Every structure is written in C-alpha cells, then in structure tokens.
Chain A
C-alpha cells in the first residue's frame, strides 16, 4: 500500500509568481485535503476535494485554487505569490469526506517565496 506522496519536496519562488503543488493520495482514498503550516504554527485548512468536487474551504483567498483528478490525485495552485505564502504545504487523504475520518498526511512541500 502506497502512502501519500507530495512533489516537489522544496520549492523557491519569487513574489508574484505562480506555483503548482502535487499530491498523490493513498490507495483507495477518494478525498484530499490541503493545509498550510507556517513556521511555528499549526496547520490551517485550505480546502478539501471529495470525488473531484470541492467539499469545504477555509479562510483563504481565491488565488488559492485546487483540482482533483479522476485517479484522486490533486493539485494546489497559488497565483500571485506573496511573502506570507512561505510555508509547509501538507496534503492529506482519507477514505471519504467524513468529519471523523482518519486523514493520512504526506511529508509536505516546503515553499519559500522571496
């Protein structure tokens, strides 16, 4: 059984650029959630996708967008990068969109915006 994988591991961008982060969910999971974890903080929920539809969204501006593909892998896109977007971006998959479901986290993508 393959766990949650994320790519790339590290990324450096400059302010104003766009970035795409990728996540492959655990085998058999149809739900993917994305989180932003700033240094020294807890993860903040960005959004969740369940069977290719957005299933909930946190307090993030529209320049944070996502996609989920038929194989349930997912992308997080961030446009017009700002310095405050520097963070660890975590992806988590689960077997359904339920609130009590166990989420399995990937190792994250460390984004640095200069």
Chain B
C-alpha cells in the first residue's frame, strides 16, 4: 500500500525567504511522485513530477523537488518566496505497478508574509 505524509499543515515564510514543504512517502514499488498547487476555489495544477528519471526535478514558477530514495522523501523547495505563492500544496504518489490509484497527502498551506 502507498501513503503520503506532509509534515506541517501550515508553513509561514517571509517574502523572499526560502520555501521548504516536506513530503514523505511509502510505496512497495518504485513510485511516481507529484506536487500540485491549489489556489482558493480552483482545481489543482501540477507543479512538477518525478517518474524515475533525474532525481532533481524542476517545475513551474521556480519550484523544484528532489527524490531521495534512502529517505523516502520528495520535498518541495523554492529559493525565494513570492506573495503569489500563497496557496495549498499537495504531494501525491502513484505506484509504478498495479492499478492506477494515486494517493494524495493532506496538504500544506503556504502563508507568505510581506
């Protein structure tokens, strides 16, 4: 069975500071990993995904994430936060084998202070 844990339901940073959103996963087979962003009253938008290629994945809006198998982690980072980054962020895992059943974390709300 696969699962995702997002540490911290809320993360608060100042504008211009480093953003770090944590995601740990469990999976019995090599996983596919995703980060999504959700703005208020909108659907989810894919930021980036890992599908067994390069372990450092670059996404949109300056975000990137690194797949670390030994730590079963896929943390999301951005060097400098912008006010427009304030949103809900979801990490998701999809097993590379078996039926297509993705699992999402509970989400982390990013708050950006001026």
A and B associate in one complex: yes
Chain A residues with a Cβ under 8 A of chain B: 4, 33, 35, 40-45, 48, 55-58, 90, 92, 97-100, 102-108
In the complex, chain A residues whose CB is within 8 Å of the CB of B49: 100, 102
Number of interface residues of B (CB under 8 A): 25
In the complex, chain A residues whose CB is within 8 Å of the CB of B96: 99-100
In the complex, chain A residues whose CB is within 8 Å of the CB of B105: 42
For chain B residues 57-114, which have a beta carbon within 8 Å of chain A?
Answer: 90, 92, 94-96, 99-107
In the complex, chain A residues whose CB is within 8 Å of the CB of B4: 42
Of chain A, the residue at the smallest CB distance from B97 is: A99
B32 lies within 8 A of A42 (CB):
no
A100 lies within 8 A of B51 (CB):
yes
A45-B101 contact, Cβ under 8 Å, with A99-B32, A100-B32: yes
Question: Does B45 lie at the interface of the complex (its beta carbon under 8 Å from any beta carbon of A)?
Answer: yes
In the complex, chain A residues whose CB is within 8 Å of the CB of B17: none
In the complex, chain B residues whose CB is within 8 Å of the CB of A90: 43-44
A45 lies within 8 A of B43 (CB):
no
Chain B residues with a Cβ under 8 A of chain A: 4, 32, 36, 41-46, 49, 51, 90, 92, 94-96, 99-107
In the complex, chain B residues whose CB is within 8 Å of the CB of A42: 4, 90, 92, 104-107
Q: Other CB < 8 Å A-B pairs besides A92-B43, A105-B44, A108-B43, 20 of them?
A: A42-B90, A42-B104, A42-B105, A42-B106, A43-B90, A45-B101, A45-B102, A48-B100, A55-B100, A56-B101, A57-B101, A100-B32, A100-B51, A100-B94, A100-B96, A102-B46, A103-B46, A105-B43, A106-B43, A108-B42
How many angstroms from the CA of A100 to the CA of B31 in the assembled complex?
A: 9
